[in-house]
């Protein structure tokens, strides 16, 4: 794992977008693993801008999102499908048929999860997976105690996650209590991972994920097992990291992310 600390959230997001853009330029038919949440909005704004200003070409890209709420139709303005269409897909030249999210309104959730895993495999696996982190330590919606080998499945959301995301719904009680999510094992299968973490409210969980033990109590700690994982944090989120000086030194002298291609 490489930890890169940037001065603020805007610079951290712009670096994340640039790494994704570089990967698309190198491999136009990139399989992108995408995340939702407030942190990612700035990254998608940058990618849209790169498409508009420097012709970043998404036409051959395929994408798989991490998760979707159960019980919301893709048309619901609170679904992650809607979020992705709004923030990225409708603003760049990706073929919408090549964009994938689990269907939270599927009648047979188990079959939907299996189909999702199969489609990822058929596409040759995820090349680069973008991640945020929830305050419960989740990646996707892998709440505490998610098996480190877990695959795409339904998960019950924790009170911490419900408190974090329910303000995004018209009434907090409208937020679904379950979601389909790629498993921790599914995420770790990606060839490369970039996790973006900003803001002081994420400092405590980031320290546990990066410097704590690998434990299913903090799903993001499983990223320590991945050979090509870059964590990009702003100073506020990095506040509680004990080895900050070391991470800065590596970034300046021996940056690994440049070779993660
Ligand atoms: C949701 C998503 C996660 C995301 C998290 C962070 O819970 N399921 O994939 O990482 O939000 O959200 P935010 O960026 O709004 O803090």
How far apart are the CA of 257 and the centre of ligand 1, in A?
A: 23
Q: Tell me, using a 6 A CB cutoff, whether residue 39 lines ligand 1.
A: yes
Ligand 1 atom nearest residue 132's Cα:
10
Which structural domains are found in the chain, ordered by start? 2-228 (3.40.50.1360)
pLDDT reading at 258 higher than 80: no
How far apart are the CA of 118 and the centre of ligand 1, in A?
A: 24
Whole-structure pTM value: 0.96
Structural contact between residues 187 and 193, judged by C-beta atoms closer than 8 angstroms: yes
The whole-number average pLDDT for the span 200-218 is 98
pLDDT category of residue 254 using cuts at 50, 70 and 90: confident
How far apart are the CA of 254 and the centre of ligand 1, in A?
A: 30
Q: Tell me, using a 6 A CB cutoff, whether residue 15 lines ligand 1.
A: no
Q: pLDDT digit string (tens) for 33-84?
A: 999 999 999 999 999 999 999 999 999 999 999 999 999 999 999 999 999 9
What pLDDT does 260 receive? Answer: 65
Pocket test for ligand 1, best of 34, 132, 168 (most atoms within 8 A of CB): 132
How far apart are the CA of 197 and the centre of ligand 1, in A?
A: 10
What pLDDT does 261 receive? Answer: 62
pLDDT category of residue 169 using cuts at 50, 70 and 90: very high
Supply the residue whose CA is at minimum distance from atom 1 of ligand 1. Answer: 37
The whole-number average pLDDT for the span 190-195 is 98
């Amino acid at each position: 794992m490489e930890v890169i600390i940037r001065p603020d959230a805007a610079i951290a997001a712009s670096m994340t977008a640039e790494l994704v853009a570089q990967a698309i330029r190198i491999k136009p038919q990139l399989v992108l693993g995408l995340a939702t949440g407030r942190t990612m909005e700035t990254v998608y704004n940058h990618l849209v801008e790169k498409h508009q200003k420097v012709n970043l070409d998404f036409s051959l890209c395929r994408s798989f999102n991490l998760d979707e709420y159960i019980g919301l139709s893709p048309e619901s303005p609170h679904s992650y499908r809607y979020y992705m269409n709004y923030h990225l897909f409708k603003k760049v030249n990706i073929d919408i048929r090549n964009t994938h999210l689990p269907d939270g309104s599927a009648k047979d959730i188990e079959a939907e999860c299996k189909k999702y895993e199969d489609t990822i495999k058929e596409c040759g696996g995820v090349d680069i997976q973008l991640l945020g982190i929830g305050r419960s330590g989740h990646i996707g919606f892998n709440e505490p105690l998610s098996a480190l080998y877990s695959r795409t499945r339904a998960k019950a959301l924790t009170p911490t996650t419900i408190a974090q995301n329910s303000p995004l719904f018209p009434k907090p009680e409208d937020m679904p209590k379950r979601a389909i999510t790629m498993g921790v094992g599914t995420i770790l299968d990606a060839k490369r991972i970039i996790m973006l973490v900003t803001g002081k409210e994420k400092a405590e969980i980031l320290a546990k994920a990066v410097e704590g033990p690998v434990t299913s109590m903090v799903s993001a700690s499983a990223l320590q097992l991945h050979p090509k994982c870059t964590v990009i944090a702003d100073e506020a989120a990095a506040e509680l990291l004990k080895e900050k000086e070391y991470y800065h030194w590596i970034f300046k002298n021996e940056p690994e992310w440049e070779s993660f291609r």
